[in-house]
Amino acid sequence: MAKINDYNFKNQKAIVRVDFNVPLNEDGTISDDTRIRGALPTLKKILNDGGSLIIMSHMGKPKGKVNPKMSLSQIKDAVAKALGTEVQFAEDCAKAADKAAALKPGDVLLLENLRFHPEEEGKPVGIDKEDPAYDAAKKEMKERQKEFAKTLARYADVYVNDAFGTAHRRHASTAVVADYFDTDHKMLGYLMENEVKAVDNILKDIKHPFTAIMGGSKVSTKIGIIENLMDKVDNLILCGGMTYTFAKAMGGHVGNSLCENDKLDLALDIIKKAKEKGVNLLLGTDCIAADAFDNNANTMVVSVKEIPDGWEGLDAGPETRKKFRDAIVNAKTILWNGPAGVFEFDNFTGGSRAIADAIVEATANGAFSLVGGGDSVACINKFGLADKVSYVSTGGGALLEAIEGKELPGVAAVK
């Protein structure tokens, strides 16, 4: 695998997979351009070296069909503005050979949404998985995916993958295309390199004590990560909605709180494993319970094991926050995934805020802190603290799979 920083793109055509799946307003304007800004270091390096750019991305889930609402033409001007240069557009990403061939150093060509072609995702469309013909259709689609990837590969001399958000997918543009470049002509972009390094900091180059904070709604969606972290962490904080599955599993009464009744055994198993492995497992002991799932509901502080019927735990209580804080401020490595309460309601942000503040304090004292995987990013942004932690990941599912210990196809393909 080549290294982007060492590579000279002079007179080279680079095809770069980015994640420009930006949220749009009703009128087609961009509501949050974080993803475009995230790709700029890579795109600018290529242009500054004297290369030309073929930028490719998906947007939304058009399911293999052209859908003007998900056209990347809507963001062409924003990309041009961000790069400070004109951007050409190819209406069909699979028919851009002439435009790509005509590119001169410094030119930029943006391809239309890759997912307008079913070959990008490589899943057969319009056929049910139960259908006896499904396997044959899947095989045929995989062949078509290779051809599609080959078409994209022919546009350029070098392939750069900077789309961490889709790195957990083996799609034509994220992985298959890399098969058509030799090792010296494929690489990760800067954003991808940073994401991979951040994950390595919490899975490989760990400085102890390591505190992981897993929150969010359900234990079932986090179990893969919890299991992988169990061998690495010193302190494991489990908070958010999953608190009540644990409380009930330990014989508590959780009222109307979120609770996965079919995961009580799993909760007990996690407690047992933590003990066996010498991991300090921290669970919520008190909570802010509410009499409705509403920002303005009546509230009380109560033990997580004694929540009356008609009440539900929506945030961590004061005793819990203190306990969590102590395990965070002294840590040297910190991972935070998932809020400690229903942070979308302003009155139930306190637990998440206490976690964020403790992470900021530990980071200021030299800890490495990684925040990522969906809602904790929204949370840290809501608090305006994103620049006070070491790294905020741009990947949702990709980050979670990486932390589970799975090799990401988008990274493996360029290696």
Catalytic residue positions?
35, 218, 374, 397
| Per-residue mark of binding to ligand AMP, 157-196 (x: CB under 6 A) | ----------------------------------------
C-alpha span between 191 and 42 (Å, rounded): 8
C-alpha span between 306 and 48 (Å, rounded): 62
Q: What is the dihedral of CA 289, 295, 297, 302, to 10 degrees?
A: 10
- Only one of the segments 88-96, 154-162, 186-194, 337-345 lies at the binding site for ligand AMP (rule: CB under 6 A); that segment is 337-345
| Least distance between ligand AMP and beta carbon 257 (Å) | 6
Residue (156 or 247) nearer to ligand AMP, CB: 247
Residue (141 or 225) nearer to ligand AMP, CB: 225
SS3 state of residue 317: coil
| Per-residue mark of binding to ligand AMP, 273-312 (x: CB under 6 A) | ----------------------------------------
Indicate whether 317 belongs to the interface with ligand AMP (CB under 6 A). no
- Separation in Å, CA 97 to CA 112, 136, 153, 324: 13, 30, 10, 56
- Only one of the segments 92-100, 179-187, 214-222, 362-370 lies at the binding site for ligand AMP (rule: CB under 6 A); that segment is 214-222
| Per-residue mark of binding to ligand AMP, 220-259 (x: CB under 6 A) | -x------------------xx----------------x-
Indicate whether 350 belongs to the interface with ligand AMP (CB under 6 A). no
C-alpha span between 41 and 162 (Å, rounded): 10
Tokens 């072609």 -> residue = 117
User: Minimal CA–CA distance to 164: which of 20, 356, 19, 345?
Assistant: 19
C-alpha span between 40 and 155 (Å, rounded): 21
| Least distance between ligand AMP and beta carbon 260 (Å) | 11
Residue (32 or 184) nearer to ligand AMP, CB: 32
* Contacting residue, 51, 122, 313, 410, with ligand AMP by CB under 6 A: 313
SS3 content of the chain, % helix, strand, coil (to 5): 45, 15, 40
Indicate whether 372 belongs to the interface with ligand AMP (CB under 6 A). no
* Contacting residue, 339, 372, 395, 410, with ligand AMP by CB under 6 A: 339
273 forms beta bridges with none
Indicate whether 374 belongs to the interface with ligand AMP (CB under 6 A). yes
Question: DSSP letter string over 75-140?
Answer: GHHHHHHHHTS--EEESSGGG-HHHHHT--TT-EEEEP-GGGSHHHHT--SS--TTSTTHHHHHHH
Q: What is the dihedral of CA 239, 244, 248, 250, to 10 degrees?
A: 10
Residues that bind ligand AMP (CB under 6 A): 216-218, 221, 240-241, 258, 313-314, 338-339, 341-344, 374-375
